[in-house]
Structure 1
Amino acid sequence: MKRENTVPASRVPATTITAGRATWFVVLLGIVSLFADMTYEGARGIIGPYLALLGASATVVGVVAGLGELLGYALRLVSGRLADRTGRYWLVTICGYLVNLLAVPLLALTGHWQYAVLLMFAERVGKALRSPPRDAMLSFAGKTMGRGWGFALHEAMDQTGATIGPLLMAGVIAWKNGHILQDYQFGFGLLLIPAVLSLGTLGLARVLFPNPRDLERRTPELDVCGFAKPFWLYLAATACVAAGFADYPLIAYHFQARAVVDGGWIPFFYALAMAVDGGAALVFGAVYDRRGMGVLIAALLAGVLAAPLLFLGGFDSAVCGVVLWGVGMGAQESVMKAVVAAMSPVARRGSAFGIFNMSFGVFWFAGSALMGVLYDVSIPALVAFSVVVQLLAVPLMLLVMRRHRASTDEGHDVK
């Protein structure tokens, strides 16, 4: 196969590899993600009631949501390997965004819940296709500007869209009253605007940066055939985080079922969490570039404290819990990805992100399903599970830090 982005590092003019140029690339991809998140996060806020209006049962909605997430994460391994094997990071990313974003406004044309479900699956498949190669390209720029800051800046812009989208759709549905099918179809149709803006910005980024691997200053790589032991230990640690971190739909269900929060506040709590996510990502990213992986321990402890506050307290406790939940999310989307890039060779960067995303997603799904079962049995048991499993990640993360530091001292780091 013909390879894309194969300009040797030795031929890349030194003047082209600057922090400013790398930052501009990250900002462009951040704008892409901002509009993309407005599109599909806006849709996720109203898809449940829409499926109900189409005649789907609660069981269908729950199963479809879970399977969609599982499918979306499992396929990331395939996408990452495909990008590495062909070198066509841009092609795989663009195809993924096309499927991911255009499936959302097409929901406005569906008249049966079965077709809507197929489009929901298509949206998740598109996200699975584009995530690993896009993260790999971000990591190339991050080597020059600071990986923590690169992923943090992108995450902050991403979460800006994730905050605006649901609020926009909530406003539209309130304005239209949201009592008939056409009100929701109008909302989905409106999401074509940010989808087009996202794809247009993506095309501009492709034109301005045809070879994103050139943004990373290359160093000799001693091992490009596999991943070192610290990488696999890191996967185990992040799997514990994923399994024990409560999903927001379950949190929202608890708020509604136990009348902890008035129903009208629930989407605003989610918007608050997304805003905290973006701000926390910027802080964690900057600290990571200066202090290293130790910042992840602080982020892990924030996630551990979130569950007791969210599920065992009242309104004030819920506010604090949502803030800490957003802090944990900010670390997951910034520093955790930066560490993946630091532990993987350039030639296998897409595969590394594919493996990481698949592992994180599978354990997130399994943990969420178990916590859903535990909720019906005993809320304290759910909280205990969340706390214990996430705390297991702390000694594993400390071991990763020690092993990774040792490999760096021996000259085997693959940054």
Structure 2
Amino acid sequence: MRGTGDRTTPQAAEAGPGMRPWRFVVAFGTVSLLADFVYEGARSVTGPLLASLGASALVVGVVTGVGEAAALVLRLASGPLTDRTRRFWAWTIAGYTLTVVSVPVLGLAGVLWVASALVIAERVGKAVRSPAKDTLLSHATAATGRGRGFAVHEAMDQVGALIGPLVVAGMLAATGDDYGPALGVLAAPGVAVLALLVWLRHRVPDPAAYEPEPEPTVAVGHVGRARLPRAFWVYAAFTGATLAGFATFGVLSYHLVERHLLPTAAVPVLYAAAMGVDALAALATGWAYDRFGTRTLAVLPVLAAGVPLLAFTDTVALVVAGALLWGAVMGVQESTLRATVADLVPPGRRATAYGLFAAVVGAATLVGGILAGALYARSIPALIVVTLAVQALALVLLAVTRPGRPS
């Protein structure tokens, strides 16, 4: 079955997409821009918010690590379900709805366990939507170039990730660090996300028409049983090794506030700057990927290894540099890593592949969050040494396996 829409009619499929591929990428980028306005605004203050409710560094590491793991590991279920049901738009809209509802309520939470649950719920929304969203986007990037298409989407995504933390920072400064109005203001772009998604679903009910390659001859009900390419698993192993040695921003922001290196209101500003670097890194590596292929990925463990060397010092300039480097790693992770999956896996299994890939990434992220929080509480030098060792292992794995890219 070719369609990726929800109950797409034969007439709609024959008519083709309702807009050009690049316009679709930009429209979807606008959805992500608004959504990132919402949830990145909240994530920029997750560490200080949880700390204000009595959380320790370990608790912050666990909550943010579990949150990121939920956003990724749960795709192990949502990916195959999306492929089986073929209701890509429905999964996408449902996931965004959960996220944009959770964030404003988070600002009202006055108890640590409630706030922690809402942080995780917001990330669950990402798990629900991401395999479907990435599959829809992957069809359009078949026409624009995988690296460039995903990179432009990620760059727009990060514009919202830059604006949201700045708005939250301004609200915190104006209200004396009151998280209620600071996060409540994010309800407006959340409504815009849902309105734009409904419009885009109406204009392009079947984005699969962008991609000329035929799907494998696998029946819809049995699509989850087909095997994924070996290259996909090799690539997932490399990615997991890299991210197991990568700390969450929650631990970084905890360090900033607890060591009194920056005031609370300045943390979202730094996060916004990191998101700006994220966008630039996505564009640069996306272009490099389309030209040089998976060799570009060698930059990921190198950048990740440098983060703790800078971010967990007591010198403000070095900590800022480390946070910006953290943003560069996120840019590669959120754009080029996703583009590579689309090149390694055929369309009929792509949502499942994105779900499985995210599960690997999520498990590694959980390890990274817990490891960073636990080692931070005991010994920062030990945290640095362990991170360097893990990233060296990832480089070796990449050199040995050399995950291929289909011609």
TM-score (normalised: structure 2): 0.87
Q: Which one is further off, 20-29 or 383-392?
A: 20-29
Q: Aligned match of 2:180 in 182, 185, 192?
A: 185
Contact 1:139-1:147 at 8 Å conserved across structures: yes
Within a 5 Å distance, the mapping from 1:397-408 to structure 2 comes to 397-401=398-402, 404=404, 408=406
3-state SS of 2:387 partner = helix
Q: Aligned match of 2:206 in 208, 211, 215?
A: 211
Matched, 1:202 2:202: no
> Where does residue 161 of structure 1 map in the other structure?
160
For residues 381 and 108 of structure 2, the distance between their equivalents in structure 1, rounded to whole angstroms, comes to: 44
> Where does residue 41 of structure 1 map in the other structure?
40
Within a 5 Å distance, the mapping from 1:5-404 to structure 2 comes to 5=5, 21-46=20-45, 57-58=55-56, 63-107=62-106, 115-178=114-177, 183-219=178-214, 221=216, 225-258=226-259, 265-312=266-313, 314-401=315-402, 404=404
What amino acid is the match of 2:77? Answer: V
Q: Which one is further off, 320-329 or 228-237?
A: 320-329
Aligned positions, number: 398
3-state SS of 2:382 partner = helix
For residues 119 and 364 of structure 1, the distance between their equivalents in structure 2, rounded to whole angstroms, comes to: 19
For residues 123 and 306 of structure 2, the distance between their equivalents in structure 1, rounded to whole angstroms, comes to: 30
For residues 329 and 271 of structure 1, the distance between their equivalents in structure 2, rounded to whole angstroms, comes to: 13
What amino acid is the match of 1:194? Answer: P
Contact 1:89-1:137 at 8 Å conserved across structures: yes
In the TM superposition, residue 324 of structure 1 has moved relative to its aligned partner by 2.5
For residues 65 and 39 of structure 1, the distance between their equivalents in structure 2, rounded to whole angstroms, comes to: 17
For residues 270 and 348 of structure 2, the distance between their equivalents in structure 1, rounded to whole angstroms, comes to: 41
Contact 1:152-1:282 at 8 Å conserved across structures: yes
Contact 1:17-1:144 at 8 Å conserved across structures: no
Contact 1:7-1:214 at 8 Å conserved across structures: no
Q: Which one is further off, 68-77 or 316-325?
A: 316-325
In the TM superposition, residue 12 of structure 1 has moved relative to its aligned partner by 6.5
In the TM superposition, residue 89 of structure 1 has moved relative to its aligned partner by 0.7
For residues 318 and 246 of structure 1, the distance between their equivalents in structure 2, rounded to whole angstroms, comes to: 14
In the TM superposition, residue 317 of structure 1 has moved relative to its aligned partner by 2.8
Rate the CA distance shift 1:371–1:217 in 2: closer, same or farther, 3 A: same
In the TM superposition, residue 204 of structure 1 has moved relative to its aligned partner by 1.5
In the TM superposition, residue 199 of structure 1 has moved relative to its aligned partner by 1.0
In the TM superposition, residue 293 of structure 1 has moved relative to its aligned partner by 1.2
Rate the CA distance shift 1:365–1:106 in 2: closer, same or farther, 3 A: same
Contact 1:244-1:389 at 8 Å conserved across structures: yes
Contact 1:94-1:130 at 8 Å conserved across structures: yes
Query: What are the superposed Cα offsets for residues 360-401 of structure 1, whole Å, 9 maximum, x if unpaired?
Result: 111111122122222233222211111111121223223443
Contact 1:51-1:61 at 8 Å conserved across structures: yes
Query: What are the superposed Cα offsets for residues 112-167 of structure 1, whole Å, 9 maximum, x if unpaired?
Result: 65554444343222111001110111111111101111111111111111111111
Rate the CA distance shift 1:50–1:385 in 2: closer, same or farther, 3 A: closer
What amino acid is the match of 2:67? Answer: G
What amino acid is the match of 1:204? Answer: W
What amino acid is the match of 1:229? Answer: R
Contact 2:99-2:125 at 8 Å conserved across structures: yes
What amino acid is the match of 2:292? Answer: R
Where does structure 1 differ by over 6 angstroms across 4 or more consecutive aligned residues?
A: 6-9
Unpaired runs of 5+ residues, structure 2, are: none
What amino acid is the match of 1:154? Answer: H
Identical aligned residues as a percent:
41
For residues 242 and 65 of structure 2, the distance between their equivalents in structure 1, rounded to whole angstroms, comes to: 18
3-state SS of 1:293 partner = helix
Unpaired runs of 5+ residues, structure 1, are: none
Contact 2:25-2:140 at 8 Å conserved across structures: yes
For residues 7 and 116 of structure 1, the distance between their equivalents in structure 2, rounded to whole angstroms, comes to: 40
What amino acid is the match of 1:165? Answer: G
Query: What are the superposed Cα offsets for residues 319-375 of structure 1, whole Å, 9 maximum, x if unpaired?
Result: 433332222211111111111111111111001111111111111111221222222
Contact 1:104-1:119 at 8 Å conserved across structures: yes
3-state SS of 2:213 partner = coil
Rate the CA distance shift 1:238–1:305 in 2: closer, same or farther, 3 A: same
Q: Which one is further off, 74-83 or 218-227?
A: 218-227
For residues 107 and 97 of structure 2, the distance between their equivalents in structure 1, rounded to whole angstroms, comes to: 17
For residues 317 and 189 of structure 1, the distance between their equivalents in structure 2, rounded to whole angstroms, comes to: 33
Rate the CA distance shift 1:90–1:396 in 2: closer, same or farther, 3 A: same
Rate the CA distance shift 1:73–1:146 in 2: closer, same or farther, 3 A: same
Rate the CA distance shift 1:234–1:222 in 2: closer, same or farther, 3 A: farther
Contact 1:17-1:217 at 8 Å conserved across structures: no
Contact 2:21-2:210 at 8 Å conserved across structures: yes
Contact 2:65-2:367 at 8 Å conserved across structures: no
